[in-house]
A and B are shown apart, each in its own frame.
Chain A
């Protein structure tokens, strides 16, 4: 069930990508409306697919890399569509849709979890921990995308190349506020995710903080974003500088999310998580 829905979701995202590319080329508002509808439908299917997987295994599907990428794809699409309700950055769909499709395809080639998930990871704490972090990742990915677009548009205006790309990209102010709003919301979710994770670690594993690489990197990432938020809101580091920092911080985030889980062993690695059963020594 969840696999069928998974493929349908991928089909919808690919279709959405196609329609959005058409929109970017021909600039017809009708195409944008159509692309948006397709992506909303895709997000609905994706939600159903995740729910089905959740019901089938009994735990939030976020234990392996495969499941995490799938969930991240969902979070990115949800963040894109929700942010677009407010800011109407139409070109965003043309970036998010192919990214989400790629993530889904990457997830599809990775192995399925072998064992049924441990009871330890079925707690509400874990659900909040994972969902708020993933939603935060989705939003911070938008900060990064918005920052990238900002740098492109800024460069074009500065170099006075006012061609087709310049016309299709939204204004600097709008891209900047996309970055800022996604950053504020994403940072809050990141904080909630870290706190719930620490609290649940105390409850089940016996300590808030074990200096596991995943924890350390999470803290580093969180500090990066805290600094980013501070410089932006207090010192007014917006524009090019803010955009660059948003992109750099996202690189750290991605390393924490994927890299640390693969490179380091330990209880929070993608390898060890599905077999985590009780307090650690």
Chain B
């Protein structure tokens, strides 16, 4: 029995590719059934978030299942085959376990230490379990995964501080506005970086994003992608500014587009509600003097990077501690996984012995004629105890093979099966 994991994430695949492969919501149960129907696949779990698409499976034979899953994942999707192949990572057994643990512990995230990923895996597991796609191995593996993630979170401070720029901006916004729910944000300029930050804000609960851009078309295009807020040209900037709480500016203008006078007039209209400027443009879009106004907070790219660096320095050590925990847990789990392969042999051996015992006992009872019930019972006890004691050492030998290397395990198990002449065919 093998664990197989294939997938792609934000490091290996572009957004377009990930979007193509992400399963549409509502089809997940059906997809689990499809995957289970592939040859050799016994259990399966699909994890799909905005940063990753992964399939984890328990298979009888790793190579066959892996190839089958790859074909199935790409099937019917508008992606070039070699792009897909190049973006894919493939892990087996121990490495698959390690990968899953690292993902759940948020060591593989875009923002290392961000807490959402664990919830997403829990949700994926719930869907898979409801579809009947998980059994012994995946149930145990996923429960262990949740424990590991929890351990990493409680024993290291990896989730303690922010790492990426947008994450830092969100943390700051939370210290100004308390919560982002229902707030409005304005993008000044429609760059890619601003769009990413806006997506992050939306994910954190910001209610609406409006866009002001030099060309109105581009602004409209962007708002339609970000939930359909209003779009303005730069002439309407001041009007837009009066409505919002958070401003992300990223224009290529050589002069500041948001001046002190403009911000001051705005604040009056806002009746003292604070305004948070995140200026990621270089050269800057917001006049530095704006930051002196009561209720105005201006953070430019340098400020944010400083916050991030400050957090990152403390975090490198934490990530190492987290990796150590993951490594330790991987070893433990792999031991259990290996021990699984010896269980059929043990079951077969005890089954065979029990069968023999019952046959012999029946014959003897017939020969002895009528016995008192306690005499029959004594015979039953005697035979049971004989079988148990005789099998004790062989079973221990077989069980110990669970901790040996694959090679040793295979030869020793085969030997044991030959000694007790157990069937040879379903042994891998």
Contact = CB atoms under 8 A, between A and B. Distances in A.
Interface residues of A, number: 21
A179 to B, nearest CB: 12
A30 to B, nearest CB: 14
A173 B272 contact: no
- Among A158, A171, A235, the most chain B Cβ lie within 10 Å of the Cβ of A171
B176 A157 contact: yes
Interface in B285-327: 291, 294-295, 297, 299, 303, 306-307, 310
B294 A239 contact: yes
Contact of A239 (B177, B178, B272, B303): B272
Nearest to A87: B178
Classify the interface of chain B: helix, strand, loop or mixed. Answer: helix
Contacts of A158: 291, 297
A170 B178 CA distance: 8
Contacts of B366: none
Contact of A172 (B271, B274, B299, B306): B274
Contacts, number: 52
A172 B274 CA distance: 9
Contacts of B310: 162
B218 interface: no
B357 interface: no
Interface in A184-239: 232, 235-239
A28 interface: no
B162 to A, nearest CB: 10
Contacts of A172: 175-178, 274
A172 B272 CA distance: 12
Contacts of A169: 175
Contacts of A122: none
A247 B368 CA distance: 103
B contact residues, range: 20 to 34
A261 interface: no
B272 A236 contact: yes
Contacts of A160: 299, 303, 306-307
Contacts of A153: 175
Contacts of A171: 174-178
B418 interface: no
A29 interface: no
Nearest to B299: A160
A94 B114 CA distance: 30
Nearest to A238: B272
Given A171-B178, A173-B177, A239 B274 contact: yes
A160 B308 CA distance: 12
B200 interface: no
Contact of B270 (A166, A235, A236): A236
- Among B174, B177, B178, B310, the most chain A Cβ lie within 10 Å of the Cβ of B178
B170 interface: no
17 contacts: A157-B176, A160-B307, A162-B307, A170-B178, A171-B174, A171-B176, A171-B177, A172-B175, A172-B176, A172-B177, A232-B272, A235-B271, A236-B271, A238-B271, A238-B272, A238-B273, A240-B295
Given A158-B291, A235-B271, A238-B295, 14 more contacts: A160-B307, A166-B175, A171-B174, A171-B177, A172-B274, A173-B176, A232-B272, A236-B270, A236-B273, A237-B272, A238-B271, A239-B295, A240-B295, A241-B294
Interface of B: 172, 174-178, 268, 270-274, 291, 294-295, 297, 299, 303, 306-307, 310
Interface of A: 153, 157-158, 160, 162, 166, 169-174, 232, 235-242
Lowest 9 CB-CB distances: which A-B pairs, in order? A236-B271, A238-B272, A236-B272, A171-B178, A173-B178, A239-B295, A174-B178, A240-B294, A171-B175
